[in-house]
Structure 1
Amino acid sequence: MISRFATTLFCTVAPAALFAQAVELRSLDEFINVQGEIVGFNGVMVQVETTVGRVAVPASEVICYGNACLDVIASNDFGLTESAFQGVVGNAVPVIAGAVDTLSVGFASPAYGTLHRTITGAFAVTNAGTTTADLTSVGELLLEDRTTGDRASLSVSASDEVADIRVDSVSLNGTASRVYNTPSAWATGTALSHQLLGLKSFSVVVAPNAGITALSVNDLARIFAGEVTNWSQIGGADVSILPLQLPPNTEAGSAFQRLVMEPAGLEVSGNVLTMSDEAGVSGSIGQFPGSVGVVTTANANQNFIVEVAGSCGIAVAPTPFNIVSGDYALIQPIMATYSATPNTALPTEVFDFAASDVAQGLVESEGFINFSAVPLDSVAKNARISGLLGAALDDAQRAAAAEMFQALFDADRLSPTMTGGPASGAEGAWNRAILIDLIDFLKQPGNEGREILLVGFGESANGSAAAIAASAEAAASFAALLTDVAADTVAAKNYTVTSYGFGNVSPATCIDGQVAGSEYTRVEVWIR
């Protein structure tokens, strides 16, 4: 985008009747809005005769409106073509007075700024909907919905400015306030508090002589708070614990606080050794007896990684599938958090694009995890299903286990997994992005005519039967939601959508949530 000089001249409007071939040249941000007759073009600037004289307008920055645009393009002798303009609309289109958003975006880390630039740049290039998008040379995204007249701009905030939208890591652990009462509120609404843009994960690395293969998130917090000082206190060897942390002001150090310490309501002890970088932590684990640290999964030494358990004690390894499904506890969602609800749906549209396969493929190259849908490998799937045969179950669970074995024996689990029931802002953002991801997967060729199974799992303070009922209700609501929001895809691909609820029978991970309640549910997606 050129610098906005001579704005008063650019915004001068001449009555169309004064010119034989009157056009309107208008930029998306409407800083340029000129009416007059095109009289020349030098390859960059188009000359327009107006009532205040001749002005020059950058052709690539404006859309030409009016039937005269087509006439001039067809008959001029100064080399002006349709491709010189940002766009050409044959019939003059009046400006529709719509809502406006002028929003600034701030970043907790430079890496999140890169994530935002990648997403907005890709949106500007690939968007094919009713929204026009223009990315300026300074990274400002200008948006306009030609149907409603709504306009929005997303610009990078100054370092000393409180941004309207902040991109930062958020935790799906711990507690949070209810924002959405039903799935439709986060799925189809535009009054969102958060939107998921990217994903990272952390792994716990432990010295071999500690004598453990798994560690709960709560015990990890207690170790760094100084409450647990010997591995024997949590089932390991009689070895003193040496916790190693990263500086709290780094991306990884800040995320550790948010994912581990804050949900536990604890603070890192003052005598925890601070290492300068992740390489220092990873290298020290093999050298110092009893040591433990948390680093990004991509930088973790596979020989020292231990599984991580949630509140229920189910230990989960940081495999690619477990990370993108959310089964693994130490995932780091990076989200756009709104300080207030935007006036238009345009920012929502941009950040929804972040969940698409196109965007995720691009952000993967920037060091983020691609959370596009993937299938669970058959070995892990078969181990879970065969585990039903020898499980100790009550009467309600036995009936559910028999149905689960029948329903899922010849099905494959996909990674999209969502939380049911009332949701926090972060949970709703996760669910919305994962639903977009699922629909992208269902649009791909090769799955026509298959059955999509929405499979609920749950926990209830009122026992197994109540957990089964709650999970069945959650799965049914998600099946209805998918059938509604992806109606065209379901019909075109001849999918059948069904739902099941198996309660607390063979859950893949702990089933809990951020919103306080007596029942919690998770909904997995299977296909057969």
Structure 2
Amino acid sequence: MRHLRAAFWAALILLATALAAQAQDVTLRSRDGAIELSGTLLGFDGEFYRVQTRYGELTVDGSGVACDGPGCPSLTDFVAEISISGSITVGDVLLPALVEGFALQDGYSAERVNEGARRFSYILRQPESGTIAARFHFRLTSTDEGFADLLADEADLVMALREIRPEEVNLAKQAGLGTLDDAKRSRILALDAMTAIVAPTNPVSAISMNELSRVLAGEIDNWRELGGPDAPISVHLLHPRSGIAQAIDDRLLRPASRTLRPDVVRHETNRLLSRSVMRDPLGIGIVSHSEVGNARPLALNGSCGFTLTADRLTIKTEDYPLTAPMFLYVPARRLPKLARDFLAYLRSGPAQIIARRAGFVDQAPEEVEINAQGDRFANAIRVAAGEPGLARLKRMVDILTPLRRLTTSFRFEPGATRLDAQSRSNLQQLARAIEAGIYDGRQLVFIGFSDGRGAAELNARIAKQRALAVKQAVEASVAKTHLEHVSLSTDAFGEAMPMACDDTGWGRQVNRRVEVWVR
């Protein structure tokens, strides 16, 4: 027994010695030898060392120090290593296409190397020498696991189909990764939407948000209650770790204090889910708009008769309430220069074209003429009650007729004054467009709308305040010299042009918005 104890303690001492040696795997010395810093090398971006020391995590400019130790990287043959983990929907087609587009634009060759189930890498090489400049390592898992990999320091970027949750924000802060729900810590790669689907033979063509929530909770379990046949409803959803499945809980079930029925049929991918619903005449599912396939999408309706369908324009303007931005979360740490160049590329025009060609909705603003507003003006006429309502309608038509609506819209988080995630991205996009001179010599009018609850005069004032808040946010994001070349103004029409019914929370949320119109 004593021999066993002695062997155990000897092994423990050897392990501690090895760990201590690893903890001092690099030493950084200033050129004059006056300063010396030892610690664990956490990363090197070709310019800066990131080292865990007894003083905490430090970032040191590589040009001013010499590195000694087994962990020191090569300065002449540096390869940027970028690890990306998370949503299969984002990582299957969209982000690889963006990596290839970035490589083409910056003159690299890109080679895809498959490394097993849902793992692959892109190797970017210099075209003339063939030397490797970067490796993008992909791990397709789920939004949940992507954030877990980031917290475990096994990923640099996270692909997500939902916004980061408060508990994940807190864990990231504790891990020194910054405030991940800040607009600077994420990129929206493209836009998608959660779409309810049925088999082509199903006679039901529309469903309300409340009915959809009740179906998911099992409170409605027969198609007869939705205008269909007298038959039970089967529900198909993605696996519970997926971003869309979690967004369904966050946006459809939890706000209504409902829980998911226990007999849901789960699927690993949108494609498999869509195919299963297409073959199930009594099934209903929720998939990404980009992967509806041959199933039939359901419109969203309400008791007032308004109907909303998911298409490119309604998703881009966020008029469709179940939009689902595709996020790339970026921690507050210094990434290699090539990775930073890639993140800058994601905001560019060519990246938006690639997103659209990949089957998703891009964020590039479009101008929609007054005669292409769909049912919006029909809705406005329907709710214009009495002389005051008709007067507001006439003023709105007079002002909007010479303008065009931008697909850039702004909405706020429920019960808050903070812009939602898609709108925060829109704010940055619009600010960059103004700085680029795209709207030089033109007038941008921020027009506020409200829901129909309360007095019309009060609604108009609230809508005007929202429009002014968005205008001021844009002005704060743009250099003053650029604002001299574009005219920014505000107006408001309150409840005059509803998008959805006011009898539900989601309908009121859709109606409370700030649109941008351009002359």
Q: Give TM-score, length-normalised by structure 1.
A: 0.62
Uncovered stretches (5+) of structure 1, i.e. residues with no partner: 17-25, 37-47, 63-85, 87-103, 128-134, 141-154, 180-188
Over 3 Å counting, the alpha-carbon distance change for 1:231 and 1:8 in structure 2 is: closer
Over 3 Å counting, the alpha-carbon distance change for 1:312 and 1:429 in structure 2 is: farther
Over 3 Å counting, the alpha-carbon distance change for 1:305 and 1:513 in structure 2 is: closer
User: Aligned match of 2:477 in 478, 485, 493?
Assistant: 485
Aligned residue identity for 2:411: T
What is the RMSD computed on CA atoms of the aligned residues? 5.3
Over 3 Å counting, the alpha-carbon distance change for 1:14 and 1:371 in structure 2 is: same
Q: Which moved more, 1:112-121 or 1:241-250?
A: 112-121
Over 3 Å counting, the alpha-carbon distance change for 1:348 and 1:423 in structure 2 is: farther
The C-alpha deviation readout for 1:400-420, integer Å capped at 9, x for no partner, is 222211111222111111125
Q: Where does residue 313 of structure 2 map in the other structure?
A: 321
Q: Which moved more, 1:343-352 or 1:319-328?
A: 343-352
In 1, are the aligned partners of 2:187 and 2:329 still within 8 Å (CA)? no
Over 3 Å counting, the alpha-carbon distance change for 1:264 and 1:383 in structure 2 is: closer
| Cα offset, 1:424, TM superposition | 5.6
Q: Where does residue 172 of structure 2 map in the other structure?
A: none
Aligned residue identity for 1:11: R
Q: Where does residue 78 of structure 1 map in the other structure?
A: none
Q: Where does residue 447 of structure 2 map in the other structure?
A: 455
Aligned mates of 1:162, 1:265 — CA distance in 2: 36
| Cα offset, 1:465, TM superposition | 2.0
* 1:283 lines up with 2:283 in the alignment: no
Aligned residue identity for 2:75: P
Alignment of structure 1 residues 268-279 onto 2, 5 Å = 268-275=260-267, 277-279=269-271
Task: Select the structure with the greater relative contact order (CA < 8 A; seq sep ≥ 6).
Answer: 1
Q: Which moved more, 1:344-353 or 1:203-212?
A: 344-353
Aligned mates of 1:411, 1:380 — CA distance in 2: 12
Q: Where does residue 113 of structure 2 map in the other structure?
A: none
The C-alpha deviation readout for 1:370-390, integer Å capped at 9, x for no partner, is 222123366531653365445
Over 3 Å counting, the alpha-carbon distance change for 1:124 and 1:475 in structure 2 is: farther
Q: Where does residue 506 of structure 1 map in the other structure?
A: 497
From the two aligned structures, give the one with the greater helix fraction.
Answer: 2
| Cα offset, 1:525, TM superposition | 0.8
User: Aligned match of 2:518 in 495, 503, 527?
Assistant: 527
User: Aligned match of 1:109 in 72, 87, 101?
Assistant: 87
| Cα offset, 1:166, TM superposition | 5.7
- The percent identity for this pair of structures is 20
SS in 2 for 1:467: helix
Uncovered stretches (5+) of structure 2, i.e. residues with no partner: 1-21, 35-45, 50-59, 107-131, 138-146, 170-178
Aligned mates of 2:246, 2:509 — CA distance in 1: 31
User: Aligned match of 1:229 in 221, 224, 227?
Assistant: 221
User: Aligned match of 2:487 in 490, 496, 510?
Assistant: 496
Q: Where does residue 44 of structure 1 map in the other structure?
A: none
Q: Where does residue 14 of structure 1 map in the other structure?
A: 32
SS in 2 for 1:502: strand
Aligned mates of 1:522, 1:502 — CA distance in 2: 11
Aligned mates of 1:457, 1:195 — CA distance in 2: 28
In 1, are the aligned partners of 2:500 and 2:510 still within 8 Å (CA)? no
Alignment of structure 1 residues 370-389 onto 2, 5 Å = 370-376=362-368, 379-381=371-373, 383-385=375-377, 388-389=380-381
SS in 1 for 2:259: coil
Aligned residue identity for 1:324: K
In 1, are the aligned partners of 2:412 and 2:420 still within 8 Å (CA)? no
The C-alpha deviation readout for 1:235-294, integer Å capped at 9, x for no partner, is 455444232233323454444444433443333322233345434443344443332211
Q: Where does residue 58 of structure 1 map in the other structure?
A: 75
Over 3 Å counting, the alpha-carbon distance change for 1:320 and 1:275 in structure 2 is: same
Over 3 Å counting, the alpha-carbon distance change for 1:236 and 1:377 in structure 2 is: farther
Over 3 Å counting, the alpha-carbon distance change for 1:501 and 1:451 in structure 2 is: same
Aligned mates of 2:514, 2:243 — CA distance in 1: 31
Q: Where does residue 48 of structure 2 map in the other structure?
A: 28
In 1, are the aligned partners of 2:447 and 2:491 still within 8 Å (CA)? yes
Q: Where does residue 186 of structure 1 map in the other structure?
A: none
Aligned residue identity for 1:521: R
The C-alpha deviation readout for 1:465-499, integer Å capped at 9, x for no partner, is 2111110121122223334433557546x322221
SS in 1 for 2:512: strand
In 1, are the aligned partners of 2:321 and 2:510 still within 8 Å (CA)? no
* 1:300 lines up with 2:292 in the alignment: yes
Aligned residue identity for 2:222: N
Over 3 Å counting, the alpha-carbon distance change for 1:441 and 1:314 in structure 2 is: farther
Aligned residue identity for 1:307: A
In 2, are the aligned partners of 1:216 and 1:309 still within 8 Å (CA)? yes
SS in 1 for 2:368: coil
Over 3 Å counting, the alpha-carbon distance change for 1:303 and 1:245 in structure 2 is: closer
User: Aligned match of 2:421 in 409, 426, 429?
Assistant: 429
In 2, are the aligned partners of 1:10 and 1:34 still within 8 Å (CA)? no
Aligned mates of 2:246, 2:451 — CA distance in 1: 31
Aligned residue identity for 2:395: E
The C-alpha deviation readout for 1:68-124, integer Å capped at 9, x for no partner, is xxxxxxxxxxxxxxxxxx9xxxxxxxxxxxxxxxxx998443555687898899999
The C-alpha deviation readout for 1:348-400, integer Å capped at 9, x for no partner, is 99978755545544555666532221233665316533654454425543332
Q: Where does residue 192 of structure 1 map in the other structure?
A: 182
Aligned mates of 1:108, 1:170 — CA distance in 2: 11
Alignment of structure 1 residues 136-285 onto 2, 5 Å = 137=134, 157=149, 160=152, 167-170=159-162, 192=182, 195-198=186-189, 199-207=191-199, 210-236=202-228, 238-275=230-267, 277-285=269-277
In 2, are the aligned partners of 1:205 and 1:300 still within 8 Å (CA)? yes
| Cα offset, 1:512, TM superposition | 11
Aligned mates of 1:426, 1:360 — CA distance in 2: 26
Aligned mates of 2:509, 2:365 — CA distance in 1: 30
Aligned mates of 1:220, 1:526 — CA distance in 2: 33
Over 3 Å counting, the alpha-carbon distance change for 1:338 and 1:460 in structure 2 is: farther
Q: Give TM-score, length-normalised by structure 2.
A: 0.63
The C-alpha deviation readout for 1:158-198, integer Å capped at 9, x for no partner, is 685698986533369xx999x9xxxxxxxxx9992764423
Aligned mates of 1:353, 1:309 — CA distance in 2: 38
Aligned residue identity for 2:470: F
SS in 2 for 1:417: strand
SS in 1 for 2:196: strand
Aligned mates of 2:396, 2:196 — CA distance in 1: 33
Over 3 Å counting, the alpha-carbon distance change for 1:498 and 1:344 in structure 2 is: farther
Aligned mates of 1:481, 1:382 — CA distance in 2: 29
Over 3 Å counting, the alpha-carbon distance change for 1:358 and 1:381 in structure 2 is: same
Aligned residue identity for 1:503: G
